[in-house]
Structure 1
């Protein structure tokens, strides 16, 4: 009875508080509301930032134009001088050879001169200014967001592998985990992981299809597949000839998205670097490789997720030290946003090194950051909403992420130090507000 009275009292207090808040909201003009004014200031600050950024980029572009124009002129002058010298040299002996009546010599010199004349063209190339695309997303976006993100550990599991670099959920709520050398299917029971199957196989990326099959990036140019029904390992129906897959993702509607690159060194970027979308039959549907100015979009795509509004979010590694960015593409291939970290988290001494990305049930995205305990939480357009330090609740070295079908339930796979004999931890957490 006492408990009921207390709960009734709390309910009345909440009703009074909400009623008062409603009255206050209805009597205040929108222009007078503190939160509204704060948002307007942020939008205006963004306007100033963009204007300053444009001025800075224009100055840099002009300086680059001066440098490139000078180099271009030198190359053109050098080219013209070489052509003239070559033609003069060949022309000197023409009259003498013609008078000699040596047919073979005449034929040879004629061929040489003909080739030289054919090559004697002023370069058709020139320096052009290719305009970039300005989109509303460059300014920002408006979205109702939670006032606070809350993460709480529900369970902690000890794995049998050194690091959980890859983590995928099956329809039966079992998990695939891998440290790149060992692949395990495990079932979380109480506070333990029960291993259902183990494969000693190289893993460079993996994703589960809606039917429960596991798609694997392993050695070779052919995707592998482990049947969710039989556990049999076979080749997938699609392969990328002359290219190497770098990452894989399966959308909610069963489309497969793979990152690819030309064979050879990772850096500096050369050859092809692209994202390919496959339909359910394994047929190539779309390729995202160049922007509207035919400039390469990606350096090394290492992880992919997709959002309900059709955007594709790609972790793009820029250098060998792991520096990277999040590139958000629209369905049409427009670059909506490039996120390179936030000044409160990243710096020159601690650059943004994203390692994994996942879409939340609210259609936002979470990015894990190498050697930090930070979750970068972005909206589906790639704008930072907030960040959260899971180290504050005891989770160290988070790497891989995987949402379950239960609201707010997330698995977090962690890593261990290189050379350590420790086994990696896996956490089940409840996360709200994102």
Structure 2
């Protein structure tokens, strides 16, 4: 409410002649920009020549002395400056709320964009999986048809042999019967009595009908199996909610680096970090309970990417042909035995089988208009090359510029390959076939 004195001042001025020409000073207010706002010279919209002196909260408007007396006397009135401060506080709260909503909206937009990119990659991989299953079915169908054809041919040959044996019995007995019947016909018309009696003796050796096996079953026919889409595969309508991973930051730490490109954990609370844009900073840091970082050691060397061996040595790719290595707690890098001469090393990764997998390019700078130029090499921890992958089965280049490598629990290798100047990337998968052998998927 406005003070009684403020209302009284407004009413007193109305009693004076030419009160409408008077100016009531209600105060000045400085805004956030440092400017001084004058509340003593605000013209009343309802009463010409009058200056507003109060703010009516009931009507949500500025009022002059005349307005107070005629309309707003019993309403809730406050000083203009106070009303202004109250409105500013409301505006501040609304601004904070809108800014928070805007920040949340940006996060949701980023999630949607990430889902879009993930779906873009997923549709490509899913189509490949369907075509792969189609090829498997085609090859399996050809194999099954060949096996069934071989089986029916085998059955047919066995039945043909059995029928041939029985047919031979029938043929020989038929010839025997024919001979005897012809003899009887001859005897019926013969006038030679002596020969007649001699021929009758020949019937003493008439053979018994042989046992003819007629139980041979007919050759079986092909009975096609039922083909269902569910046997081939399916596309679920939704991913189970438990499979959707949501990442939420619970703590934030500020480093001295302008960009943290890689984080390698070397103990429970100790990490190696580096900034590829700053040519000479590799740091070993620990996280403090007060959400600050303590730098334990610093190496003034360039790192493109890093990896940690099982015995705690830090491997560093610095875009040369050899990996650098930091042994244990030493402070100086040395050149390791791991090399891809004459190529240039880029991403590095150590898998569960303790193999070193590296990506490399043939030359720098990279000409993205020309196919190929990248490769992936698998080494043992002694630096011996076990396999190199550059082309697929059709001798088409697999990689342009491999920039990151990781592996799955079943041993498959995933490579992020940059393929254009404007940073378009793809994922290439090498599926594990044998201990040291992989095939492009």
TM-score by length of 1: 0.44
Name whichever structure is richer in strand by fraction: 1
- Which has the higher Rg, Structure 1 or Structure 2? 2
**Whose relative contact order is higher, 1 or 2, with alpha carbons under 8 Å and at least 6 apart?**
1
Name whichever structure is richer in helix by fraction: 2
